[in-house]
Chains A and B, each alone.
Chain A
Amino acid sequence: MKLINKITAGRIWRSIFRTGLPSTNYRRSLVILNNFFLHLHPAKVKKSSIKFTTTFYLGGLSFALFLILTVTGIFLMFYYHPAVPLAYRDMKDLEFVVSNGKLLRNLHRWSAHAMVVTASLHMLRVFFTRAFHPPREFNWVIGVFLLLITLLLSYTGYLLPWDQLAYWGVSVGTNMIKAMPVVGDKIRFLLLGGNITGENALLRFYVLHCVILPLVLSVLVGVHFWRIRKDGGLQAESAGRLSEKTDLILGEKTNPRKDESLVHSNSIRSK
C-alpha cells in the first residue's frame, strides 16, 4: 500500500494520470474533461437522458458494435488475402487452422448484422421521439448517411469470403446498378473494376470495406457525436410530453411565457 501510494504520488504517475482518484465531484468532472477518450461527454448528464427507455442505448450499441467490428476486422485482415482463390482458402484456414479463427469470423459476421439492425432501430427511435427537431436537423441527415455507409460496409464485406453466397449475393446487387439511366454501366464498371464480378471487384470491395468506408464512417461518427454535444446533449424527454405545451414550429397556440421571452430578447436586440 505504501509503495502504491508512493507510485501514485510520484511525478511519472501524475504526468500520465493528472486527475487523481475521483473522490470528489470536482475530480469526477475532471475524469471526463481531462480524458481524451471521454471528453466528448459533458461532465454532467441529465438523469432522464441516461435512462434505458429514453434511447434504448441504440446509438451507443451501434458504436460499440462498430468498435467490435473494427477490432475483429483488423484481426481478420491478418489472415486474409483479397485474391482469387486465396480469399476462399483463407476462410477455410480460419475455420480449420487459425486458433479461434471461426470465433473471430462469427463475431465479425454477427456484429455486422447486429449493427445494421441497431443503426436502423436507432433511426426509428430518433424519429418517433422527434429528436431531430431544430437545431438537430443536420445531425439527422448525417445519421441517414451513417446508416447508408453501414449498409455499404456490410454489403462490401459480404463479397470477401468469395463463396457462392457472397459472389451471387453481390452480383444481384451490382446488376441492379446497371438499371441506372446513363451512368449505370459506368458506375458498375468503377465499382467492379471491370464488367464482371471478378478478382478486381474483390480487391476494390476489400479496399472499400477495410479502408475507405471505415474512415468515412469514423469521421462522420465523430461529427455526429460532436453535434449532439454542441446541441446540448441528448434530447432528454420524448417530444410526446411536449404536447401539452405549444407547437412551436406550427405556432398554433401561443404560450404567454414564450412571448415574454420574445419581447425581452427583442428589447436586448434594440439596445
Chain B
Amino acid sequence: MNDDHPVKVEFGDDAQVTQTRVAYVKGDTSIAVERERDEEVMTFPHLIVREVLLFEILLIALVLCSFLFDAPLESIANPEHSPNPAKAPWYFLGLQELLHYFPPVVAGVVLPTLVVVALVVIPYFRINLARESFWTGDVRKKFTILSAVVLPMNIPFVVSGAVPIYSCSAIIYSLMVLPVFLPRGRGILERFRQCALADWIMIWFILVGTVLTVIGVFFRGPEWRWIWPWIDGIYY
C-alpha cells in the first residue's frame, strides 16, 4: 500500500519471541511461575477472529432457536387462581423440590446459604490443586474416614425421606469405593480411582442438583405429587 520502505521489517504472522517473566516468588505461590513457557500468538487476529466467530455462531443459533420455539405466554396473571402445581423457573426447581422434603427454613434459607458459602470458600481451602487421587497413601485409613463421614452426613436426608439426595450419595460413594475392591485396570474404573476428593464432592453436588431439577421439572404434577411425564404429561 502506501508503505514504500525499501526494507521489509517483519515477515511472520505471529509473535517471534515469547517473553520470559521475571518474578519474585514467595515459596508457596509459584505454580504460575513453575509452568513452562508456552507458545504465543498475536491476539489480533487469532483471538479476535475467534471471538467474532463465536459471537456470530451464537447469534445465529439463538435466532434459529427463536424462530423454532416461542417463549411461553399464558393468560394474564390472576392472583385469585393459582395453577396446580405452581412452579418456579427451572433453575429454582431444585430448591422447590427440596421444599417437598424439608421445612421452608431449611430448604429455602439454610441449604441455599450453605451452597453459596461453600462455593465462595472453595479457593481458600487448602484444596488439592495437583488433583492427587483420593486413594493415595493409607487406603484402609481413608476408607474408614470416608465411610465414617459419608454415612452420618446422609442420616438427615434418610430421616426426612429425601430419596434423591441420599441415592445420589450412595451412587457417588459406591463409585468412589468400587475401584478399591477391584484389581487395578484401565478404563473408567481407573479414572474413578484417580479422581480427587474435591472433584468427587463437586460431582456429587452437580448430580444432586441435576436430579432434583429434573424431578422438579418433569416428575412433579398437581399437589407436587410424583408423576410419570410420559403418562401424565409435563407440568411445567
Contact = CB atoms under 8 A, between A and B. Distances in A.
B28 interface: yes
Contacts of B163: none
A171 B86 contact: yes
Contact of A31 (B9, B25, B44): B44
A21 B1 contact: yes
B46 to A, nearest CB: 6
A98 interface: no
Interface string A73-84: 000000000001
Contact of A110 (B65, B126, B128): B65
Interface stretch (B34-42, B151-159, B171-179): B34-42
Specify which of B13, B31, B87, B128 lies most central, judged by the most chain A CB atoms within 10 Å of its CB.
B31
A251 B28 contact: yes
A45 interface: yes
B74 interface: yes
Interface residues of B, number: 92
B142 interface: no
B39 A24 contact: no
Given A107-B63, A176-B99, A46 B12 contact: no
Contacts, number: 272
Interface in A243-271: 243, 245-251, 255, 257-258, 261-262, 265, 268
B129 A133 contact: yes
Contacts of A47: 38-41
A170 B89 CA distance: 8
Contacts of B46: 45, 50
A123 B118 CA distance: 13
B78 to A, nearest CB: 6
A32 B44 CA distance: 7
Given A68-B59, A176-B95, A247 B132 contact: yes
A197 B51 CA distance: 41
B86 A163 contact: no
Nearest to A150: B91
Nearest to B70: A106
A21 B95 CA distance: 54
A172 B91 contact: no
Interface string B1-12: 111000001101
Nearest to B10: A24
Given A197-B79, A247-B130, A95 B38 contact: no
Q: Is the interface of A mostly helix, strand, loop or mixed?
A: helix
B202 interface: yes
Contact of A60 (B54, B89, B108): B54
Nearest to B63: A107
Nearest to B16: A25
A137 B123 CA distance: 5
A151 interface: yes
A249 B28 contact: yes
B108 A116 contact: no
A181 B109 contact: yes
Given A46-B39, A155-B92, A24 B70 contact: no
B233 interface: no
B190 to A, nearest CB: 14
Interface in B76-102: 76-79, 81-83, 86-92, 95-96, 99
Contact of A133 (B31, B39, B109): B31
Given A137-B123, A163-B76, A127 B202 contact: yes
Given A177-B108, A239-B131, A245-B130, A111 B62 contact: yes
Interface of A: 5, 9, 21-26, 28-29, 31-32, 38, 41-50, 57, 60-61, 64-65, 67-68, 84-85, 88, 91-92, 95, 102-103, 105-111, 113-114, 116, 123-124, 127-128, 130, 132-138, 140-141, 144, 148, 151, 154-155, 158, 161-173, 176-181, 184, 196-198, 231-232, 236-237, 239-240, 242-243, 245-251, 255, 257-258, 261-262, 265, 268
Q: Which 5 A-B pairs have the closest CB atoms?
A: A179-B104, A167-B77, A106-B66, A137-B123, A176-B108
26 contacts: A41-B43, A45-B41, A48-B38, A50-B47, A64-B59, A67-B55, A84-B77, A95-B73, A107-B62, A110-B62, A110-B71, A151-B91, A164-B74, A164-B78, A164-B83, A169-B86, A173-B88, A176-B109, A231-B32, A243-B131, A243-B132, A245-B34, A245-B130, A255-B34, A258-B27, A262-B27
